[in-house]
Chain A
Amino acid sequence: MALACVRLGPRRLRPALRLCAYATLSRGSRPQEKSGGPVFQYVGEHRKPTHKVFVWGFSFTGALGIPSFVVPDSGRKRPRKYQLTPYRLETAEQISSAACGYGFTLMASSSQDVTKLWGMGLNKDSQLGFQRTQHSRLFSMGNNAYGQCGRRIVDEEVYSGSHVIHRIKGFGSRVVQVACGQDHSLFLTDTGKVFSCGWGADGQTGLGHHDVSSCPVELGGDLAGVEVQQISTYGDCSLAVSRDGQLFGWGNSEYRQLASATESTQMNSPRHLPLRGCGKVVQAACGGTQVAVLNEKGEVFVWGYGILGKGPKLSESSTPEMIPPTLFGRSEFNPTVAVVAVRCGLSHFAAVTDGGELFVWGKNVRGCLGIGKTDDQFFPWRVTVPGQVVDVACGVDHMVALVKSIL
C-alpha cells in the first residue's frame, strides 16, 4: 500500500492542488480505496503548543504595545482607541509572566541565561526600563514619592526621564513575589515572610503605624510566625494567604473588605480574617474596592463594594458570597470544572478555569473586559481567546493574557 506522504511545515498553506494526483476520484468513491491522492501531514506527533500573548483594553496609553493603534502605519487605517476583543501581540521571545499597572505593562521573558524585561505604555515616572537581571536580584523603578520603590526619598526628585533603577537589598532570603499597590509595595520571601514599604496613611503597609516607610520592613501583627504563600494588593487594601489556608488582611477597609475582623475603616497591622464557609483558601486577589478569594475546591468567593458578580442587585457585601459554579461552565456534561486562578483589576475580576477558559466580570472601564462591548458585566462572562489561557494580568483599563495554543 504505497501512500504519497507530503510533509509540510506548520504554518505553510497547502501546496497548489494542481500538483496532486486526484486521478480516480468520482462521486461516491469508496473510502476503503486508499490509493489515489496524496495524504497530507500537517502536524507531527511531537508537536508542542505555542505560547502567545493577547492584549485588549484602552490603547492610547500605549499599554497594549501595538503602535499602529495610536499612530496608524497605513493611510487607510484609523486610530483604534479601544480594543474590545483580544488581539494578538507579536513578541520576539516567549513571555513567561506579565504585570499591568495604570496605563503601562511589563512582561518578562526568560531564556537560557538571561531574563529580559519588556515594558510598554506610559513612562511619565520612568516606570519602564530595560535591564538584565540574573536570578533573585530585585530591582525597582518608577515614582518614589512615598518610598514605594524601596529607596530613600529624595525631596523634589524629578521622575520622568530618570535612569534610576534601584536594587533593593536586605531581605535575608530570596524574594519570590512582589505586589504593588497604589502607593506602596509588598514583597514575599521564600521563607514566608512579608516585607512592605511606601505610603501608610491607610495602614496598607501593615507596619503598625500610618507613616511613610522608605525601606522594606518585615510585617508583624498576626503574621508573625506564619508562613505566607501569596500576597495581593491593588489599591489601599492588602491581603496575604498563608500556607495552611488562612487569610490575613490589613489596610483600607472603607468598603468593608476587612469587615470580618474589624469594624473600623483602617487597619495598620495584619489581622487574621475568619471566613465562614470558604474552606481552605488557596489564592486571594485584591481590587480597588472589592476582594476575591479562591478555595481549594475551585470555588470563588467575593465581597466588598462594586460589581461583585452576582447580578446588579448585589453591589456590596461584607461577608463572602460564593459565585455559583454554573456561571464558570459547570453543567451535567461537565461536572468537574474548577477555577484555578483569580485576579483583580481596579474594578473588575478575572478568573481562569482548569480547562483554560477566561471569565471576566465587573466594570468595563474603556473596554478592559474584552467581551466585545463597553457595557458593564454583572456576572462572569467568557472571553473568547483562541487557545487555553495560562495566566492573566489585570490593569485599570487594559488586560494581558498569556495563552497556550490547543494543539
Chain B
Amino acid sequence: MGSPAVRMFHRLEGLFCVYKPAGVHWKLVRDTIETNLLKGVNATPARPLPHEVRFLPSPNKDREVAGGLALRAASVPVLSKHPLVTGPEFQHIKVGVGHRLDVSSSGVLVLAVGNGNRTMRDLYRTRTTRDYSLQCEFGMATQDFTDTGRVVERSTYGHITREKMERVIAMLEGANQKALRMYSSVDMSSQEAYELAAKGLLGPDGKSVPILTGLRCVHFQPPNFTLEVQCLNETQKYLRKVVHEMGLELRSTAVCKGVRRTRDGPFTLQHALTRHHWTAADVAQAMQQHRWKKRSKGRCGTVTDKAVAQTPGETLAASQEDEANREATIAELQCR
C-alpha cells in the first residue's frame, strides 16, 4: 500500500514506557525518543525510484535526420523523487508524555506515539495510581527537601523506633483515606457512596489535591529508611515534602535522597526500556507487548491497575505472535 517507511510509521502507534534516568529533563528523553523513532522510520529501505520515459538526444552522429535532433526513448529514474532531493519522508512524529518526572527523579515514564496519545488520555481519565519508592534519611532538614539542598536544621534521631514510625504512617494513611472520600464528587448521603466506599473505589475524579492511597515503610535502619508510596495526582516535590513532614511528626527531621517511580498505571519497571534500547525496533516490540497484555487482560475480564497473570496457553500464543512480528521487523530493517 505505502512505502515500507509508511508501514513502519503506522506500526509505531501505541503506548510504551521508558526508564528515565535521574538528572535528565523529561523533555530531553522525549526528544531523544522522537529523533530515534524518526531515524528508524527513515532508515527503512526506500521504494525503488519510479522510472519514466524521456526522449533523450541521440548520441549517434551517423544518422542523418532531416530537420531536427535525433531522439531516442530511454527509461530514466525520476530524480525529483530521489530521497536526497525530497529529504527524509517523515520529519515529525507525535510523541506525548504521560505523567511527568522532574529532573532528580527516575523511573517509569510512559510515552505515547501517534494515535496512542488518545488512548493515553482515555487511560488517565480512569483513575490510575502510581507507585514510588523513596529513599530517605533522618537527621537533616533542607531547603528543597533533598539531600543536596541547603541545610536548614540538623536534629537527633536516636529516639525513633520502627513502632513509632508505624504509628505515624498509620496516622498519615488515615488522613489520606479521609481526603480520598472528601474529594470525591459523589453525594455522601446516597447509597452509591456507601457501595463505592465498601468496595474501596470511592475517590476523586480528575484533578484534586495529591492523595496517598497507600504508604508503608519497607526498610528501616536509622538514619536511612525506605518508603513505598501509592498515590494519585501527586508531584515528586510533594512526595519529598511528605518525607519532610514525617520527620517533623517524629520530632526529628528527614530528607529524601531519591524518588523512583516503580509503576505508572499498568506499566511497571519490568516493561521499561533502558537507555540502550531507545530504538524504533525495541519501541515497536514494547508497544506490541503492551497491546497483547491489554488484550489478554480484557479477555480475562478483570479491570485492575496491576498486570493480571496470563494463562500458559495465551502466553505461548502471545510469544509466538511476538516472535513472528519481531522477525518481520528485523527482516525489514536488514534488507537495505
Contacts and interface: CB of A to CB of B under 8 A. Distances in A.
B205 to A, nearest CB: 19
Nearest to B228: A333
Interface centre among B155, B164, B177, B215 (most CB of A within 10 A): B155
A388 B167 contact: yes
Prevailing SS type, chain A contact patch: loop
B334 interface: no
B76 interface: no
Given A40-B153, A376-B189, A406-B167, A326 B197 contact: yes
Contacts of B178: 381-382, 384
Contacts of B154: 34, 37-40
Given A41-B156, A376-B189, A29 B151 contact: yes
B191 A384 contact: no
A313 interface: yes
A25 B170 contact: no
Interface string B165-197: 001101101110110010000001111011101
B234 interface: no
Contact of A378 (B148, B170, B181, B189): B189
Interface in A326-378: 326-327, 329, 331-334, 355-357, 375-378
B237 interface: no
B170 A357 contact: yes
B106 to A, nearest CB: 20
B171 A329 contact: no
Nearest to B230: A333
A402 to B, nearest CB: 17
Interface centre among B148, B174, B188, B193 (most CB of A within 10 A): B174
A333 B173 contact: yes
B158 interface: yes
A377 B182 CA distance: 13
Interface stretch (B24-32, B96-104, B247-255): B247-255
Contact of A311 (B140, B194, B249, B251): B194
Contact of B216 (A39, A41, A333, A384): A333
A407 interface: yes
Nearest to B168: A406
Given A312-B194, A326-B197, A357-B170, A5 B156 contact: yes
A31 interface: yes
B161 to A, nearest CB: 9
Given A381-B181, A406-B167, A37 B251 contact: no
B199 A313 contact: no
Contacts of A357: 170, 174
A264 B200 CA distance: 39
B139 to A, nearest CB: 8
Interface in A191-228: none
B150 interface: yes
A116 interface: no
Contacts of A329: 173-174, 177
Contacts of B214: 331-333
B198 interface: yes
Contact of A37 (B151, B167, B195, B216): B151
B92 interface: no
A58 interface: no
Interface string B134-170: 0001011000000111110111101100001001101
A312 B192 CA distance: 9
A136 B222 CA distance: 48
Contacts of A114: none
A328 B167 CA distance: 16
Contacts of B194: 310-312, 378-379
Given A39-B156, A40-B155, A407-B250, A31 B140 contact: yes
B198 A44 contact: no
A40 B156 contact: yes
B141 to A, nearest CB: 10
A329 B173 CA distance: 9
Contact of A313 (B147, B191, B255): B191
A25 B141 CA distance: 13
7 contacts: A25-B151, A31-B151, A311-B190, A324-B198, A378-B188, A406-B168, A407-B168
Interface of A: 5, 25-29, 31, 34, 37-45, 47, 310-313, 324, 326-327, 329, 331-334, 355-357, 375-379, 381-382, 384, 388, 406-407
Nearest 4 pairs between A and B by C-beta? A311-B194, A333-B214, A43-B251, A324-B198
Given A41-B156, A45-B158, A406-B249, 11 more contacts: A29-B151, A31-B147, A31-B255, A39-B139, A312-B189, A377-B188, A378-B188, A379-B193, A382-B177, A406-B171, A407-B249
